[in-house]
Amino acid sequence: MALVRAAVVPAIGSPLEITGIELPEPGPGQVRVKLAAAGVCHSDLSLSNGTMRVPLPAVLGHEGAGTVLAVGPDVTHLAPGDEVVLNWAPSCGTCHPCTLGEVWLCANALTGAARTHARRADDGTGLHPGLNVAAFAEETVVDAACVLPAPAGVPLTDAALLGCAVLTGYGAVHHAAKVRSGETVAVFGVGGVGLATLQAARIAGASTIVAVDVSPEKEELARAAGATHYLIASDTTPREIRGLTGKQGVDVAVECVGRAVTIRTAWESTRRGGRTTVVGIGGKDQQVTFNALEIFHWGRTLAGCVYGNCDPARDLPVLADHVRAGRLDLGALVTERIALDGIPAAFDNMLAGKGGRALVVF
Ligand SMILES: [Zn+2]
Ligand SMILES: [Zn+2]
C-alpha cells in the first residue's frame, strides 16, 4: 500500500480536491508507476464538468510519463526502473474495430475506468481511474497495457505530452486529414492540441498554415509552432482564409475547439472538396447544421477524429524520431509548469482560453 497525493473529482461539477489516496500493490497484469509529469488536457475539464461521462469519484489525468516502481506477479515484459509513457486507450486486439486495425476505436478501451484502483485516505471512498491511467497523482497503478516504453533521448517530462496532445494533433494531420506536402491548412484553437497540430502540419510540408484563435495573445506561440498566418476568430474568418489561399479556401481545416460555430467556420474555410477534421470534444448542446444543397455543391468532407486515429504503439516511436531530429518541439507546447495543486487554476485558464499546455511536474 502506498499513500500518495492526487487530484480527485468527487462528483460532476464539484471542484477538484488535492488529497491523499491509498494505492494497492499492483495485482496480476498491473504495474505501479511513479509519475514524472502529467499534462492538463481539456478532456480532464470535460470529465469534471460532465461533458464527458466516466464513473466518479475519480482521479483525473491521462497524459503522463514516469518510471515503473513495481510490477504485478505475472508481468514479465516490464521491470522496476523502466521509463514509460501512459496510454489511456489500450486496445484489446479482438473487437471489430481492432481486427480492422482501427485500434483508436477499440470497444473495450475504457472498460478499465469502471474499476476502482485506489481509495481516499481520509474516508476510504473507492476511486476510479478517470481515463484508465489516473495520472494526476504522484503514483498510479495501471494495467500493463496502459504503458508504452518511453522513447530514448526524450526527457520524461517532455515525453508525458506524447500520450495525448501530441498523438492527437499529429494523428489529426497525418492519419485523419492525411495532409500532403504543399497543401494549405487552417487550425482552429491554439491550445496544447492546436499547437501540436500546427507543428504536425509543418512536418507534413503544408505550404500555408493559418492559426485561428479568439485570443491575440497566442500569436507568438502559434507562429513558433509553424503558423504562417494568425487570425483572430470572427464572422469573416472564412473570407480572410480565402484571401490567403488564392480565393480557394484551405485544403484542410482542423478544429480543436469542439464548438458548433467553430466547426461550421472550419468547414466553410475549406475549398471545394476540402477536408475538415474535428478534434475538439463538444457537448450535446452543440448542434451543427448544413443544408442539403451545400453538401452537394461543396463536395467537402467533415470527419471526427479519436485520439488522432493513432495506434500509440506504432506512432510513439515515429514521434520520438521527429523530436530527436528537432522537427517536433515538445517544450514549446508547455506554457506553464505547475504542481498538483495548480490544476484547478489551469482549468480556469482553459475555460478562459488562455495558454497552451499546463504541465504538472512531480
Ligand atoms: Zn487528452
Ligand atoms: Zn478492441
The average pLDDT across 294-303 equals: 98
Do 256 and 194 form a contact (C-beta atoms < 8 A)?
A: yes
**Residue 49 and residue 267: Cα distance in Å, rounded?**
28
Location of each CATH 3.90.180.10 domain in the chain: 2-163+329-361
Strands (E), the chain: 2-9, 17-23, 30-40, 58-59, 64-71, 83-86, 118-120, 126-129, 139-143, 147-149, 185-188, 209-213, 229-232, 250-255, 270-278, 301-304, 334-338, 357-361
pLDDT of residue 239: 98
Nearest ligand to the C-alpha atom of residue 96: 2
Burial class of residue 119 (count of CB atoms within 10 Å of its CB; 0-12, 13-18, 19+):
middle
> Residue 289's pLDDT is what?
96
What does the pLDDT look like over 312-328, one tens digit per residue?
A: 999 999 999 999 999 99
- 51 CA distance to ligand 1 middle (Å): 14
Span 56-81, average pLDDT? 97
Q: Check residue 176 and report its DSSP letter.
A: I
Tell me the pTM.
0.95
Q: SS in 3 state form for 84-130?
A: EEECCCCCCCCCHHHHCCCHHHCCCCCHHHHCCCEEECCCCCEEEEC
Instruction: Evaluate if residue 14 carries a pLDDT over 90.
Output: yes
Q: What confidence category does residue 28 fall into, taking pLDDT thresholds of 50, 70 and 90?
A: very high
CA–centroid distance, residue 139 to ligand 1 (Å):
19
pLDDT tens-digit readout, 104-151: 999 999 888 888 999 999 999 999 998 999 999 999 999 999 999 999
Ligand with smallest separation from the Cα of 107: 2
DSSP 137: B
CA distance 355 to 68: 31
The C-alpha atoms of residue 41 and residue 164 are separated, in whole angstroms, by 8
Q: How far is the CA of 318 from the centre of ligand 2 (A)?
A: 22
Q: Is the dihedral of CA 197, 174, 136, 10 positive or negative?
A: positive
Domain with CATH 3.40.50.720 in the chain: 166-306
Ligand nearest the Cα atom of residue 98: 2
Question: Ligand 2 centre and the CA of 96: distance in Å?
Answer: 7
- So what's the pLDDT on residue 111? 86
CA of 354 from ligand 2 middle (Å) equals 36
Q: Is residue 279 within 8 Å of residue 169, measured between CB atoms?
A: yes
3-class DSSP assignment, residue 218: helix
What distance in angstroms lies between residue 253's CA and the mean position of ligand 2's atoms? 29
Contact 296, 273 (CB under 8 A): no
Average pLDDT taken over every residue of the chain: 96
> Mean per-residue pLDDT for 17-37?
97
Instruction: Inform me whether the pLDDT recorded for 22 exceeds 90.
Output: yes
| Cα-to-centroid distance, 244 and ligand 1 (Å) | 31
**Residue 1 pLDDT greater than 90, yes or no:** no
CATH value of 2-163+329-361 in 3.40.1180.10, 3.90.180.10, 3.40.50.300, 3.30.470.20: 3.90.180.10
| SS3 at position 265 | helix
Ranking 50-54, 117-121, 223-227, 339-343 by mean pLDDT, the lowest is 50-54
Amino acid at 205: G
State the burial class of residue 67 (Cβ atoms within 10 Å of its Cβ: 0-12, 13-18, 19+).
middle
- 344, three cell numbers: 484547478
- The CATH code of domain 166-306 reads 3.40.50.720
Residue type for 195, please?
A: L
pLDDT digits (tens, 9 = 90+) for 169-207: 999 999 999 999 999 999 999 999 999 999 999 999 999
